[in-house]
Amino acid sequence: MRDSKKVQEQEKKNYDRAKEIFNEILPNKHPQFKQMPEFSVSDMRMQVATNQYNIELKGRSTSIYEYNEQPLKVKKYINLVKDTKPNETLLYMAIIDDGNWYIWNLSKLDWRTVKLDNMTAKKQEYNIGGSEYVCEPYFFLPLDTACLSSINN
């Protein structure tokens, strides 16, 4: 069983930090944000003028520099694509506890640069009473394909 309180705290922390980042990289654009409910496919939606975004947020407690890539569960990606409306751009944002962040425009990513492999990870984050691990397919998004100063449209 997952610790719903910890999940909500982390989701709120990620959402607040993402808002700060988007307001910083989109000065004078006045983005409008909507946090999605806890069990939604994505974490937030954003509108900037006439542009609409569906955004998945991933908080990381450790630096991803040593790996040069960010894992994204294939099943999660498929669900995000299904959840993204035709007029929306799908973004994936990794927020690192050290203050760094990365944004991938999954709608325009050159998927030939993305590695696909199996990875063993916790079945459920913030699990009460121990963690079960499973091996599942993941995409590994290269750091050099991330947007570091704005949103790549």
- Using CA atoms in the order 96, 81, 54, 104, what is the torsion angle rounded to 10 degrees? 40
Highest-confidence range of 6-20, 53-67, 74-88, 136-150, by mean pLDDT? 74-88
Of residues 67 and 82, more confidence is placed in 82
pLDDT reading at 71 higher than 60? yes
- pLDDT for position 141: 95
pLDDT reading at 3 higher than 70? yes
* Percentage, residues of the chain above pLDDT 90: 65
pLDDT reading at 149 higher than 80? no
- In 51-88, which positions are buried (b, 16+ CB within 10 angstroms) versus exposed (e)? ebbbbbbbbbeeebeeeebbbbbeebbeebeeebeeeb
